Amino acid sequence: MHPANFSFIFIQLSAQTPATPSGVNAEGYDSHIEVRWQAVPDPTVTSYQIFRSTDGGSNFDLLKTVGSNTAPAAIDWTGDEGQAIVRHYRVKAVKNNGLTSDFSETAQAQTRVFSDEELLDMVQRYTFRYFWDYGHPLSGLARERSNGNGEVVTTGGSGFGIMAIIVGAERGWISRAQALDRMVKIVSFLQIADRYHGVFPHWMNGSNGNTVPFSQFDDGADLVESAFLIQGLLAARAYFDQNTPLENAVRDAITGIWEDVEWDWFRRNNSAALYWHWSPNHGWQMNFPLVGFFEAQIVYILAAASPTHPVPGSLYQSGWMANPNYCSQGVYFGHPVYCGGFGGGPLFFAHYSYLGFDPRNWKDACSNYFVRNRNHSLIQWEYAKINPEKHAGYGPNCWGLTACDGPNGYAARDIHPANDDGTVAPTAALSSMPYVPAQSMAALKYFYRDLGEKLWGPYGFYDAFNLNVNWFAPSYLAIDQGPIVAMIENYRTGLFWDLFMKNPEIEPALLSCGFQPDNSVGTTELALPGIKVSAYPNPVRDGQLTLSFENDREQNISALLTDLTGKPAQLILSENIPAGNFQKTLSTAHLPPGIYFLQVKNANNQSVVKKLAISY
């Protein structure tokens, strides 16, 4: 065909109005409505116009325009904190020449008050989309950030993203088959991506697997980022446990990647510690021994657990714990930190190594790390309440300092005055949900209901904000989004703590590193004058909770189970308990999973309260 004819056909097509968007749907949430539609398969469509009616569908005004290069969705922030508001929506497609389609069919939705469980669902689901909708189309891995080079994928963030995809399958946002297909894409890509002695770089090109240098000398292996990836892969290996050809293949591929990591080589000539970086061009130039405490504890656990290239568990002491100040005597705002720097450091120290590793039932020479991380979270919460630097917004509902974007760029933030510029990151408080659920839930509600559309976007909460200068990040970062999904799930069901710890290599590795079993978190002991009460198991998993009383005299005792708000959930007993030993077993099967408080009182109205977790 003559070129002129091509031009004629193109002009003719361009003059046509675009197809009308279909599949328009509106869904009401607590304080916003989301409108979604099917993208028009026309390369000349460059944007969509969303029209809204607030008078029952009689008159529509333009709400906003969104580009065709983003997900076909738009958020209408109502800001009504759950008041029932009904709105109607229509969508038009817009071509590059300005022509618009006809109105789509009308969709309507109504907002309503969300329960705490519904709010957690919402936050997890939106945040999951960062890894599902925005995952790299060829590799399936997590892009480093939403406002950067879309070809750059991140190794550690992809480990977190694998966990988010599993949550998506567990909660029905995608099917198990869809999650499995994404895992096939991910592990197939990882098998051909750059590795150095089995270790991946910090960043890769998501299309070809080539290393993208993180810095001048960091153009090779990153052991810490790779450990975060392996943590996610081992959780996936335990999750995809069905005897089908595809799930068998995914497990085999993960095992191959896991066994290829030469952890022992990163001892740097059999030294007493592991080293973070190695480059084929610069060798050990980075010279960073992994001596704690910071986010990398999981590296030593995995290195000792390796079935093919293990390191001696003694390296945990000679390397990770080699810092003479590792075991800290510091107490901040009434809470001992046990290990770590001033105030415990940025809160990601309490998150990254514990997405899979369940710290509740283990302790080393310094600490039970669940207790340590809970105190770290409480230190930051208390700091925000006192607000010694007088930052705008800080308080019991607005807290959380970690590594994140800020008005002056990315930085690690904590309670040290030199490291606190007033920038709060939602991931800090939300990823602490297993440790301090009441404080984290209060922060979630403040971030969502009070800061609203300034902080909420298509993938949940934006990375950070600073109310001193009224700054809100326009960005999402994989390493901040991923822990939100995984740690909220650990709070709700313990999913990843169960999955990761199922891997048979992990428990022997912990023992070889010098960890000891510890039931101080799992068994709840309460003391009143003349009586000791134990509650077990904690968390409750099989729907049965047992209270064991040890009395030195007969006395009247009441025991009440309440939810996070203090609302009674179940009266356990109110009666005279004889001297000696007495047990009471009750069913919790009718209670929804979550955190509860056990309150025990004696006849003099003296009481003690302890936290219990219920999961199934």
Residues of the chain below pLDDT 50: 4, 6-13
Using the structure block, give the residue that is written with the tokens 């030294």: 271
Residue 7 corresponds to which amino acid?
A: S
Q: Are 277 and 196 in contact (CB under 8 A)?
A: no
Same domain, 505 and 563: no
Question: Is the omega angle on the peptide bond into residue 537 within 30 degrees of 0, that is, cis?
Answer: yes
Q: Which domain holds residue 604?
A: 524-614
Using the structure block, give the residue that is written with the tokens 């990151």: 425
Same domain, 259 and 283: yes
Final residue before a domain boundary, out of 113, 141, 164: 113
- Strands 45-53, 61-67: pairing kind: antiparallel
Same domain, 533 and 419: no
Same domain, 388 and 272: yes
Q: What is the pTM of this model?
A: 0.84
What CATH number did the domain enclosing 481 receive? 1.50.10.140
* Closest-CA residue to 514 (of 328, 357, 269, 318): 318
Measure Cα distances from 478 to 156, 290, 459, 494 in Å. Answer: 9, 23, 11, 22
Same domain, 309 and 431: yes
Same domain, 420 and 397: yes
Distance CA 145, CA 461 (A): 14
Take residue 280 and report the two structure tokens written for it: 């084929």
Using the structure block, give the residue that is written with the tokens 């997405």: 355
What CATH number did the domain enclosing 25 receive? 2.60.40.10
Same domain, 545 and 506: no
Distance CA 430, CA 608 (A): 27
Final residue before a domain boundary, out of 496, 517, 538: 517
Burial (CB count within 10 angstroms: exposed 0-12, middle 13-18, buried 19+), residue 600 = buried
Question: Is the omega angle on the peptide bond into residue 539 within 30 degrees of 0, that is, cis?
Answer: yes
Final residue before a domain boundary, out of 500, 517, 534: 517
Distance CA 402, CA 404 (A): 6
Distance CA 332, CA 379 (A): 6
Distance CA 170, CA 596 (A): 23
Distance CA 178, CA 170 (A): 12
Q: Which residues pair with 582 in a beta bridge?
A: 549
Same domain, 212 and 324: yes
Using the structure block, give the residue that is written with the tokens 């390493």: 479
The count of domains in the chain is 3
Take residue 180 and report the two structure tokens written for it: 């499995």
Helix ranges (DSSP H) in 474-565: 478-492, 495-502, 506-512
Distance CA 257, CA 195 (A): 10
Same domain, 389 and 274: yes
Same domain, 49 and 171: no
Distance CA 87, CA 102 (A): 20
Cα angle for residues 412, 292, 498 (degrees, 5° grid): 90
Task: Go through the chain and tell me how many residues it has.
Answer: 616
Take residue 493 and report the two structure tokens written for it: 């069901």
Same domain, 261 and 292: yes
Same domain, 66 and 164: no
Using the structure block, give the residue that is written with the tokens 């509902």: 397
* Closest-CA residue to 47 (of 16, 21, 11, 13): 21
